Amino acid sequence: MKEPTGAQRCLQQIRQMIVSGELLPGQKVHQSELAERLNVSRIPVREALSTLQAEGVLEHKSNTGYTVTRFSSEDLSELYLMRRLLETEILASIDLGGVDVAELERIQEQVDQAEPSEEGPEFQEANRQFHFRLFSYSPLKRVLQEVDRLWYMSDFYRALYIREPSSRRKVSEDHGRILQAVRDQDSAELIRASDEHRSATEDLVVRRLGGGRPR
């Protein structure tokens, strides 16, 4: 694998600062302060902020600069609606007979071993790898690119979910259902298990934030 560029490293670090709550919704983001903190020039920071703006994680106004987007249950519901529609198409397009189940099981072991702490992104990264390794078997590559963007936009919400004490066990159980559906080559059950797994996050976080759009 190629080493990440300076802008990619900045992107990862700033994204984690938002997910962990170190940068709060509505907070102004100063390029110079970030560059000093991350020990880089302003150029990779500027590139990273531009990417986060495109993902909807940051907002930019000419007179105020960048601020962290104020997240809401309504935004979450729309993000998860788009994810459900697109991920269903991705999963339905996969030839389950060609999936390396043993590899997914190894990734799930990493999910189970990772600590879902506020200090590190290990749990979320392992969880993301589990899903996107399965998604990668789909021929719908442009759709997958959009799902990738939606996942980054909803990172903050998933961070709220995994901090709940019962969430780690629920994630493991849901992934077990997904794995069994792949083993059985049961596309309908795979889609059903994935829907319920995704909805668990949405329902909990909507309760935390209040409001939301009924499904």
pLDDT (tens digit, 9 = 90+) per residue, 28-86? Answer: 999 999 999 999 999 999 999 998 888 778 999 888 899 988 877 788 888 899 999 99
Residue 138 DSSP symbol: S
Give residue 177's pLDDT.
Answer: 97
* Rounded CA separation 133/171 (Å): 16
- Please list the helix, strand and coil fractions of the chain in percent, rounded to the nearest 5, in that order: 70, 5, 25
Mean pLDDT of the chain: 86
Both tokens of 164, joined, read 């709940």
Contact 59, 67 (CB under 8 A): yes
Beta-carbon contacts of 3 under 8 Å, excluding residues fewer than 6 positions away, are none
Give residue 205's pLDDT.
Answer: 73
Q: Are strands 58-61 and 65-68 parallel, antiparallel or unpaired?
A: antiparallel
* Whether residue 22 has pLDDT greater than 60: yes
Give residue 84's pLDDT.
Answer: 96
Q: Is 61 exposed, middle or buried (0-12, 13-18, 19+ CB in 10 A)?
A: exposed
Both tokens of 119, joined, read 């200090």
| Other CB atoms within 10 A of residue 4 CB | 11
Between 22 and 19, whose confidence is greater? 22
The three-point CA angle 12-17-23 to 5° equals: 140
